[in-house]
Chain A
Amino acid sequence: MATHEKVDVAIVGAGPSGSIFADVLARAGKKVVILEFGPDWDYKQFVSSAIWGKQLKHAPRFQLAGQHNPGHGSNAGWGTGGAMIHFFANFPRLHPSDFRVKSQYGKGLDWPISYDELSPYYDRIAEDIGVSGDAAQERRWYPVAKDYPMPPLKTFRAAEIFNDAFASRGIPLAPMPAAINSTAYKDRPACVNCGWCDVGCAIGAHATPLVGHLREARKRGAEVRPFSYVTRVLTNQSGDRVTGVEYYDAGREQHVQPAATVVLAAYSAENPRLMLNSATDKHPKGLSNRNELVGKFLMCHSNAAVWAMFDEDVQNHMGTAANQFMSYERYDKTWPKKGFGSIFLRTGSAMKPNVGIAGARPDLFGQPLADFMKRAVRGLTRVGIYGEEMPRAENRVELSSDKDEFGLPIARIIHGYDRDAIDSWDFGREEAFEIVKAAKPKEAWKGGGAAPGSAHLVGGTIMGTDASNSVTNSFGQTHELMNLYIAGAGLFPTEGSVNPTNTLMAVSLRGAEHMAKNWSAIAS
């Protein structure tokens, strides 16, 4: 076993959250090491191929249980940049009501912070990484203090074709804020609308940690160790502080990295696994788990597409993986006439033949599939929805009896949507279907079956006011170990129904600055 020199900060995971912590703390003069499970990517070598793009996704293996398994594979990150290197770059923010669900509706949970407290961090992230959008149009739904640094992305017929249909149902649209350059920004070029965002952007127009926080952190001395598989967080004998992490390298050699502070910024299902696998006699239930809340309140976004085939060329091969328009007009959690939860509407995006298009009719095979492909490559587009589920303790991560290659339990994910989530999703899908039909396509059909699909994985290490209701405080600092922080979407007590990346970055920036500002008290 190799034991390294002690560092100030050991970060597990080089995705957006870990990269923000690395950047902020490296700027503060701290010695930072990032341990990344996957490879160290060079974005300039990303190949425009949805076949090759599969290499950017390599989820850890989980034991899945419960009625509705989360589709974790497509959402997980692997390698430097994490999931952000293949995310669609939709960059909406949570609505103010999402932070006060319990207070406002008597269901779910409250965040320990308000929208207003997080708002400045949304603005700073937009400026840091470059976000394109139109804040003025979003202000009809929630306050946005600062305009985005770039105008919205170019739109295409695949989205515009629904504009009148949305209007006919009284639903205003706004450009989807996107973490993609609509113009040259800082040292990165404007997007060329090739539509390959989700297999990695080789020009760096797509905002990822590889061209943002991680790059900046490295400039300031942060060290990235790829192919480092962290197995445990270590604690001192008295059990009141973490002392570092234990990990294996690509050659299966075991290492110990001592550190004054540890940040767990891995996937939402992996952070709980690490905490549970790090149990000691002082922490018999796992780290910061005295009240058995680690792993609880896991959530997914329910997901559906409603498809439309037109006779005209809707230019679906161009643009971005990011949607072109969005609407919060159906976001009120009581809008669905059945169920409960917000509905986020979005439309228009680039689709490649072997992913979006072939996936639009998964029931087709043989000659009918070949015929469909010919029509769809020019005429297919969609309206999508995300729905929301309330946090429930029974949706959780726990340790499996199944082991990884090093003999440690893998994570067992137990997840199912409740009736409210299924009904509100179904109601939202019907609304999307009405919108699509109003656009008068040649064919229209609802994607998915009787139960929702899923996107994103949030919760599991939620923040709250104290240890009785949460794992961490509002900065991600664990209640029981002051030098152990959690970063990422796992902190969310509620999920809204929007893509989580903007919020997880804003929360991470706030947490990282808290650690830097209170360094003496935390690290000593």
Chain B
Amino acid sequence: MSSIERRAFMQGAAIGALAFTVGGVEVLLTPVEARAQGVPLKVLTADDVKTLDAVGEALVPGAREAGLSHFVDQQCSVPPHEALLSIRIANVRPPFVNFFRAALTEIDRQCNAKHGKPFAELTAGEQRDFISDMRQGKHPEWKGPPTQQAIYGNFRTSAVDVVYGTMKGAERLGVPYMALVPPKARW
């Protein structure tokens, strides 16, 4: 990344925004805004989003509304060393979208095999049980990589990030954000 590109990126980060493409033009939006505006996704499919949103919401209530899928989609579309995903330090080989695609495919494959429907269509209780088993690596016929625990840990971290890692998230929890470089938007 050149110094000019990096400066532009960091300015985007300073306002809590990421670069999304709208009508062929790159604009800086927060994931919440991107979701609200229905910004087209770059790498994830509609089915991916349905599952990712459902898993994210089951892991961390509020993740769907906070724009988890747009966050993951945007972060998978930038060069790996610019991505803000936990898998960048989890020894995962880029491109990172492969991790998410493999994970989402396997989650739905497991759910279809056990319940005859994808994760997003499970009841809340079924979703909870599925994730609990995934956390403990208890799905017996799991086809990885990624492993069940790697998916649980990294999906949970991204969902926690968009829900609680923002100024808005801190405000919801009633705790001061204490920004030294204050983000201008509540991303």
Contact = CB atoms under 8 A, between A and B. Distances in A.
B181 A46 contact: yes
Contact of A54 (B16, B88, B160): B88
Interface string A38-68: 1110000111111110110111011010000
Contact of A377 (B88, B152, B175): B175
B85 A196 contact: no
B176 A202 contact: no
B88 A58 contact: yes
Contacts of A57: 88-89
Contacts of B179: 48, 194, 196
A38 B180 CA distance: 24
Contact of B89 (A74, A357, A373): A74
B153 A61 contact: no
A354 B161 contact: yes
A201, A318, A370: most-surrounded residue (chain B CB, <10 A): A370
Contacts of A74: 89
A39 B85 CA distance: 18
A354 B180 contact: no
Given A48-B177, A353-B170, A61 B58 contact: no
Interface string A351-365: 011110110001101
A454 to B, nearest CB: 13
Contacts of B80: 58
Contacts of A52: 13, 84
B180 A202 contact: yes
B114 interface: no
Interface residue range, chain B: 35 or more
Given A73-B89, A366-B61, A317 B175 contact: yes
Interface stretch (B3-11, B46-54, B115-123): B3-11
A212 B60 CA distance: 41
A48 B89 CA distance: 19
Nearest to A46: B181
A337 interface: no
Contacts of B84: 51-52, 54-55
A430 B125 CA distance: 36
B91 A61 contact: yes
Nearest to A64: B91
Nearest to B163: A354
B68 to A, nearest CB: 12
Nearest to B153: A362
Contact of B13 (A39, A47, A72, A196): A47
A2 B178 CA distance: 47
Contacts of B157: 354, 358
A40 B3 contact: yes
Interface in B129-187: 131, 135, 152-153, 156-157, 160-166, 169-170, 173-183
A40 B3 CA distance: 8
A367 interface: yes
Contact of A353 (B93, B173, B180, B182): B173
Contact of B60 (A196, A317, A355, A365): A365
A58 B79 CA distance: 12
A187 to B, nearest CB: 18
B81 A38 contact: yes
A369 interface: yes
Given A40-B3, A48-B183, A369-B60, A58 B178 contact: no
Contacts of A76: 89
A62 B91 contact: yes
Given A61-B91, A203-B180, A366-B61, A378 B169 contact: no
B1 interface: yes
Nearest to B58: A366
A357 B165 CA distance: 11
Nearest to B170: A353
B160 A358 contact: yes
Given A54-B84, A366-B128, A374-B173, A47 B10 contact: yes
B173 A45 contact: no
A118 interface: no
Most A Cβ at <10 Å: residue of B3, B88, B182: B88
Given A48-B179, A48-B181, A55-B84, A354 B173 contact: no
Nearest to B134: A365
Nearest to B14: A47
A195 interface: yes
Contacts of B183: 47-49
Contacts of B6: 39
Given A48-B183, A366-B59, A369-B60, A55 B169 contact: no
Interface string B64-90: 000000000000000011111110111
A374 B3 CA distance: 40
Given A54-B86, A194-B180, A362-B153, A45 B93 contact: no
**Candidate in B131, B165, B182 with the most chain A CB atoms within 10 angstroms:** B165
Given A39-B1, A48-B178, A354 B91 contact: no
Given A196-B179, A354-B169, A365-B156, 11 more contacts: A48-B183, A49-B13, A49-B165, A51-B166, A52-B13, A54-B83, A55-B81, A59-B89, A352-B165, A354-B163, A374-B174
Interface of B: 1, 3, 6-7, 10, 13-14, 16, 58-62, 80-86, 88-91, 93, 128, 131, 135, 152-153, 156-157, 160-166, 169-170, 173-183
